């Protein structure tokens, strides 16, 4: 069965510093991987995806993610964090037959001024 793990419940970072939110995956075959962000009482917003090709994927709001096949990881990164980046971040893997997404438990990012 396909799954993703987000080992950190919360990540704290100072504004202006780089941030990393970790995700590891377990799939058979080549993975389709996604990051979504959720603000309080809102739905999920798509940030970026990895399907194939370049291991460094760029997405919305200055976020990027690095796909590492040997470490089965897909960590979300941003060079310089903003207070407005504070939100809940979800990593997900897509099941190919149904296109449904299987989500991790989420990581709360707190950016302090």
Partner 1 sequence: DTGVSQDPRHKITKRGQNVTFRCDPISEHNRLYWYRQTLGQGPEFLTYFQNEAQLEKSRLLSDRFSAERPKGSFSTLEIQRTEQGDSAMYLCASSYTSTSTGELFFGEGSRLTVL
**How far is the C-alpha of 87 from the C-alpha of 35, rounded, in Å?**
13
User: In this complex, which beta carbon is closest to partner 1, that of residue 49 or of residue 77?
Assistant: 49
User: In this complex, which beta carbon is closest to partner 1, that of residue 36 or of residue 63?
Assistant: 36
- Name the token pair of 32: 């389709």
Grouping H, G, I as helix, E, B as strand and the rest as coil, residue 54 is coil
The minimum distance between CB 85 and partner 1, in angstroms, equals 19
The minimum distance between CB 102 and partner 1, in angstroms, equals 7
Site for partner 1, rule CB under 8 A: 32, 34, 36, 41-46, 49, 51, 90, 96, 98-106
**How far is the C-alpha of 106 from the C-alpha of 61, rounded, in Å?**
19
């Amino acid at each position: 069965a396909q799954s993703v793990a987000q080992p950190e419940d919360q990540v704290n970072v100072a504004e202006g510093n780089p941030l990393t939110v970790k995700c590891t995956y377990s799939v058979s075959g080549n993975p389709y991987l996604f990051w979504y962000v959720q603000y309080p009482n809102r739905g999920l917003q798509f940030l970026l995806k990895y399907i194939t090709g370049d291991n460094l994927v760029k997405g919305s709001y200055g976020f990027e993610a690095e796909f590492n096949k040997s470490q089965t990881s897909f960590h979300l990164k941003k060079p310089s964090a903003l207070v407005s980046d504070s939100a809940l971040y979800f990593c997900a893997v897509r099941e190919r037959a149904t296109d449904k997404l299987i989500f991790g438990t989420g990581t709360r990012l707190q950016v302090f001024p």
